[in-house]
Every structure is written in C-alpha cells, then in structure tokens.
Structure 1
Amino acid sequence: MSVKKTSAEKRHAQSEVRRMRNKAVKSRVHTSLKKYMEAILKKDQPLAQEKLKVLHSELDNAYRKGVIKLNACARKKSRMAVLYNVTFAAAK
C-alpha cells in the first residue's frame, strides 16, 4: 500500500523547490554584479558597459520570476548606472 504525503509535507517540498530556484536566480544576479564591479575597478569602460547590460538583464529576469520586487530591481539598476556614469565621467 502506498504512503500518502500530508498537505504540510507537500507544501514543504514545494517551498524547497522554489527556494532552490530562487537561490539560483539570486546567484546569477550576484555573479553578474561581481563581474560588473571588477570591470569598474579595472576602469575598463567597454567591458563595464557590457557587464552593466548583462546585469540589467539578470535583474529584469529576477523581477519577472518574482525573486525580487520591482522597486528593488529599479533601485539596483539605477545605482549601478550612476556608478558607471560617475566612474567614466572624467574620462570624457
């Protein structure tokens, strides 16, 4: 005879799957942020511009998947754009 899961066990299993999925998305965002910051510290403008584009994409993806909220996504994108502008403003 088969053993049935209780609803609490099912919910726990579902939450564990979601937690791992959210962790993977957040990890991609953090990795993109780290690569962007490395490019900023090297003062490599073309690389930083490319990494900023990738970071924006990852943040939008995290928002679409419900991992981060809209305002958090917008705030992070804005702060990284300001950092880019401040860093490379003197180069112009």
Structure 2
Amino acid sequence: MKSSSAVKRHKQSEVRRIKNKAVKSSVRTSAKKYVASIQSKDAAAAGDLLRSLVKELDTAARKGIIARNAAARKKSRMQKLYNASFAAK
C-alpha cells in the first residue's frame, strides 16, 4: 500500500513532466520554424523568429527545464546561422 504522500508526489511529478515536455516541444518547433525561414532566405521573418526562440530558450533555462549552458549553446548556434546567412552579405 502506497502512502498518500507518495501518491501525491507521483501526481505532481506527472504534471511537471507533461508541462516540461510541452515547453521542450515548443522550443524544438520554434527552432524548426527558424531554420526553415533561414533556408527560405527570409531575413525579416528569421530575425523575428530568432528573437522569439531566444526568449523561449531563456524561459526554459530559467525554469530549469533545459540546462543554462544548453540554452546558451543553442542561442549561439542559431545566431551564427543567422549571421552566416544574412549579416555577411
């Protein structure tokens, strides 16, 4: 027989898992949209999507859903992609 506190902790962890999964999925979707805009050579859309992606990454890192350095690494790579595609020309 499980204690009531164990049952409650299980419910809480399940809720957190679902929320964390949603945030990670949202970050991945934003990254895919951003890369697609880079490939279609749309600088204005890519700039807007980059800003929203950075915001999502920072939020996820602040909440502890992804590691702080992982967020920084992804932001850096996405910015490099933008610079290579648009800023150098």
Q: After superposition, what is the alpha-carbon deviation per residue over 1:11-67, rounded to whole angstroms, capped at 9, x for unaligned? A: 211110100110111111111111101101101111111110010000011011110
Within the candidate set 59, 63, 79, 2:61 is matched to 63
Structure of larger gyration radius: 1
Corresponding position: 1:74 with 2:76: no
Q: CA deviation at 1:5?
A: 5.2
* Counterpart Cα distance in 1 of 2:66 and 2:44: 28
* Counterpart Cα distance in 2 of 1:70 and 1:89: 27
Question: SS of the counterpart of 2:73?
Answer: helix
Question: 4+ residue runs of structure 1 moved beyond 4 angstroms?
Answer: none
Structure 1 stretches of 5 or more lacking a match? none
Within the candidate set 43, 46, 49, 1:45 is matched to 43
For 1:13, the aligned partner's letter is K
TM-score w.r.t. the length of structure 2 is: 0.90
Identical positions, percent:
61
RMSD: 1.5
TM-score w.r.t. the length of structure 1 is: 0.87
Structure 2 stretches of 5 or more lacking a match? none
* Counterpart Cα distance in 2 of 1:28 and 1:68: 12
